[in-house]
Amino acid sequence: MAVQEILLLGNPILRKQCSPVKNTRTAEIVETIANLRDTLQDFRKRKGFGRGIAAPQIGVTRQIIYIDFEYHGALLNPTITKRSRKKFTLWDDCFSFPDILAKVERNYSIEVSFIDESGARKKLNAEGSLSELLQHEIDHVNGILAVDRAIDSKHIILRSEYEKLSAKQPVML
Ligand SMILES: [Zn+2]
């Protein structure tokens, strides 16, 4: 169990379709979950933000995400089974491109089916911040990044420029 290096935008592993987990008790899966937890906690300590992480970000092409915000723990083979018609937009960021923000549109609420660490089938209903976080992390295990979801190419910007703009004219954003 250890903090892992986070793969960055451009690394082809981030673009892979991850494979489902069949047995949650193998050493590979148990270790991956512990590494995701440790890496997320370390990132948050160093950078001051971070609520979730996905296995491909530490180089493991398995359908595993780890959330530490409202829901706490690993979701294996997560799939979105319901989406609200209501949507909202937000500036999204990612450990794999910490200096870039992309404005994306997400469903306001979703239902996610997954298996937990013990192998039990579960459902989770999420809205608002947890909903957009889950959509971001589930995209990762399908090789999709927040920059791909940008509402258009003008809405991919550097974090430093975002901070300048929001200090001057928050309404513009
Ligand atoms: Zn991400």
Q: How confident is the model at residue 39 (pLDDT cuts 50, 70, 90)?
A: very high
Catalytic-residue membership of 70: no
Q: How remote is the CA of residue 173 from the centroid of ligand 1, in Å?
A: 21
Q: Which residues contact 92 (CB under 8 A, 6 or more apart)?
A: 101, 102, 103, 104, 132, 136, 146, 149
DSSP code of residue 150: B
The mean pLDDT of the chain is 95
Residue 34 above 70 pLDDT? yes
Q: Which residues contact 63 (CB under 8 A, 6 or more apart)?
A: 18, 19, 20, 21, 55, 76, 77, 78, 141
Q: How confident is the model at residue 173 (pLDDT cuts 50, 70, 90)?
A: low
pLDDT of residue 48: 84
pLDDT one-digit tens code per residue, 68-83? 999 999 999 999 999 9
Selecting among 28, 70, 127, 137, the annotated active-site residue is 137
pLDDT of residue 169: 65
Q: How remote is the CA of residue 92 from the centroid of ligand 1, in Å?
A: 9
Q: How confident is the model at residue 1 (pLDDT cuts 50, 70, 90)?
A: low
